[in-house]
Amino acid sequence: MSNRRFPFPVLAALPLLLAGCTETKAPVPAVSDSEAPSAATTLPEEPETAPRATAPVAPVLQVIDEKQYAEILDKHRGKVVLVDFWATWCMECLELMPHTVELREKLGEQGLEVMLISLDSPQDRRETVEKLLAKNGVTFDSYISRYGSDPKSAEVFAIESAALPNVKLYDRTGSVRKVFSAGRMPPEPFDAEDVEKAVHELLAEE
């Protein structure tokens, strides 16, 4: 069993390593098509860094590819990062999502960063994605794969067997330490408690 599990963290860390290798740090585009362009045009003077806390702003759903994924992970270096890959068509993912949100609320201050990445088509499913995020209390920014539910998403984000849900945990040094994947044979099926336990273990590390 262990020889099956071992290589996958490495696989997922590959984009990270490669990104570190090339030294090309393209800025992560802050623009998202979910931000109302009309609002932006009426306030041209406002700097981009203006605090958003004053008015409730809908969380941003940013389209990302594998390169941006690596860059965002890079930015979270020093924190434990939980990446929850989900899709609107994955019931088990939707059951898991409230737990992911709760972990962020509960353990954010202890250094847990949470990334929710939807593997739905940004063209066709954005609205449904946003609705489900709102329904599950996701008030923070999250992501959607530019490849949607195409197998390309499985390839670049190392979703084994292209089965969802898939949860990856990165330690404070940015290494993948744990991958929970649906479809695994016993004794590896997982539930929300297993994820929480693993998060606690990683947070306890220096």
Partner 1 sequence: MIRMRRTLLVLALLLSVAFTAHAATAKLGEKAPDWSGIIGIDDAKHGLADYKKAKAVVVVFTCNHCPVAKAYEDRLVALQKDYKKKGVQLIAVNVNNLPADTLEPMKERAKEKKFNFPYLYDSSQQIGLDYGATKTPEVFLLDKERKLVYHGAIDDSMDAEKAETHHLRDALDAVLAGKEPPKAEVAAFGCGIKYDKK
Q: Which residue number, 107 or 156, has a Cβ lying nearer to partner 1?
A: 156
- Structure-block tokens of residue 22: 């090339």
Choose, by CB under 8 A, the member of 27, 47, 51, 187 that binds partner 1. 187
- Structure-block tokens of residue 31: 């623009």
Q: Which residue number, 112 or 180, has a Cβ lying nearer to partner 1?
A: 180
Is residue 7 a contact residue for partner 1 (CB under 8 A)? yes
DSSP for 39-69, written as a single string:
HHHH-TTS-TT---TTS--PPPEEEE-HHHH
Backbone torsion region of residue 148, taken as left when φ is above 0, otherwise alpha when ψ lies between -120 and 50, otherwise beta: left
In sequence order, which residues have a C-beta less than 8 Å from that of residue 167 and are 6 or more positions away? Answer: 82, 83, 84, 85, 96, 100, 179, 180, 181, 190, 195
Furthest CA-CA distance within the chain: 58
Least CB distance from residue 22 to partner 1, whole Å? 11
Which of 155, 52, 59 minimizes the C-alpha distance to 115? Answer: 59
Which of 135, 149, 140, 154 minimizes the C-alpha distance to 112? Answer: 140
Is residue 134 a contact residue for partner 1 (CB under 8 A)? no
Is residue 156 a contact residue for partner 1 (CB under 8 A)? no
Choose, by CB under 8 A, the member of 58, 127, 161, 173 that binds partner 1. 161
Is residue 189 a contact residue for partner 1 (CB under 8 A)? yes
Least CB distance from residue 9 to partner 1, whole Å? 10
Is residue 127 a contact residue for partner 1 (CB under 8 A)? no
Choose, by CB under 8 A, the member of 63, 70, 81, 87 that binds partner 1. 87
Binding site for partner 1 (CB under 8 A): 3-4, 6-8, 10-11, 14, 17, 21, 87-92, 119, 124, 149, 151, 153-155, 159-166, 181-187, 189
